[in-house]
Amino acid sequence: MNARDIEQKVDMTYIQNVLMELIKIESINPPKDGGEKKAAEFLAGRLQELEIDAEVHEVADGRANAVGIISGSNTGPTLVLNGHLDVVGANPEDWDNPPFDPVIRNRRIYGRGAADMKSGIASMIGAAKLIKEADIPLKGRVLLSFVCDEESKNLGTLDFLDRYPDADYAIIGEPTSLHLVTAHRGVARFRIGVGGKAGHAGEPENAVNAVCLMNGIISALQEYQQIINKRKHKMLPSPTCSITGIKGGQTDNVIPDRCEITIDRRLIPGEDIEQVENELKEIIQGKGGMEKDGYTMERYIFVGPGELKPNRPFFSTIKDIYARYFDVQNVEPQGFRATCEQSLFIDKGIDTAVFGPGSIGQAHQANEYVEIDELRKAAGFYYYSVLSLLAGKGN
């Protein structure tokens, strides 16, 4: 069975309908009006209509995952098809059409989450529909994992992995423009604060300006960026350390006694959080000129970098599946420039690749869209992966 045969069977009307209905649900993160739970309930309902066992697992108030299970025999592996329900917010004034009122134009679907990543979810459900219609016995099972809170603290995937720790493989449907991805950068975000002594702006000699103290740290961090920029990975951009926010001062005639910055530190495989924190402390206390107890540093977000190593059997397997489906030779997996949840699965011993419709360049942008043709190809690939891994019918 080749890609053309499979894609002719893909129900594009169904997939487009699922995607557009899903976009209408404002599953914004930070959460608003229980949008993520509404999205989970909607998807669980669609899975149940396909006679797939599906449940909604509430993770926090108004926040939930939808999990569907397509069961086969107990003698084979478990494959997870994973996507996230949450989207970033959208300012309607920046959009040509309301962001949560999707439109089709020029063979594209526009709306918040169209690329990141409700299109991947819709294609996975389209693949699930094909699996049920084909009625092919599976040696193993498929877990459809649609989770909340990917855009922040990963509460949804952490809950899913606690409930289903024994999966063997996973494919995450992040927008990769239909490229096969096997590595991604991680992210750590910190708040760094310094204290000074307030005083009258006309008598700075009687005060200690916290903003000026922070200036030394900022300059040190800029030097640090030049250092880590020399670190390389064959698939990914170099690590980065970006200052993303600054707060200081209360009014314009008072020397500020407090200043805080936020920084975003992107990690490549081979770096870890202990190393990063030690480097930041060293640069702040060295080039930044701060005493050990003269500043505060709080890490408030961390997702490690991920990589499916070439020596893992699934690396060769998913490359072969991709090569056969798309009829290409010498497949070279790519890196995902953004952060995703691959590392959370790999940390649990679940070999994980990333593949999905849409471009990461559309993520978080006004007038976000996905190419409709990519939905068909993605659904076909997910279906073909299931057949190859669980039914021995990919050849």
DSSP-derived secondary structure letter, 211: H
The stretch 229-236 carries a mean pLDDT of 97
CA angle (204 as vertex; 203, 208 as ends), nearest 5:
140
In tens, the pLDDT along 271-298 reads 999 999 999 999 999 999 999 999 999 9
In tens, the pLDDT along 103-131 reads 999 999 999 999 999 999 999 999 999 99
The residue ranges of every structural domain in the chain are 3-184+305-391, 186-303
Q: How confident is the model at residue 232 (pLDDT cuts 50, 70, 90)?
A: very high
Whole-number pLDDT of residue 394: 61
Whole-number pLDDT of residue 55: 98
The terminus-to-terminus CA distance of the chain in angstroms comes to: 7
Whole-number pLDDT of residue 303: 96
Is a pLDDT exceeding 70 seen at residue 185? yes
Q: How confident is the model at residue 328 (pLDDT cuts 50, 70, 90)?
A: very high
Is a pLDDT exceeding 90 seen at residue 393? no
Is residue 156 within 8 A of residue 65, CB to CB? The reply is yes
Is a pLDDT exceeding 70 seen at residue 172? yes
Q: How confident is the model at residue 395 (pLDDT cuts 50, 70, 90)?
A: low
Find out if CATH 3.40.630.10 is the number for domain 3-184+305-391: yes
Please give the Cα distance from 171 to 333 (Å, whole number).
14
Whole-number pLDDT of residue 301: 95
Whole-prediction pTM: 0.94
Is residue 307 within 8 A of residue 182, CB to CB? The reply is yes
Find out if CATH 3.30.70.360 is the number for domain 186-303: yes
Task: Report CA-CA distances (Å) from 232 to 89, 107, 240, 273.
Answer: 33, 38, 11, 17
The stretch 158-163 carries a mean pLDDT of 98
CA angle (360 as vertex; 14, 228 as ends), nearest 5:
155
Mean of all residue pLDDT scores within the chain: 96
- The residue to which tokens 């739970």 are assigned: 37
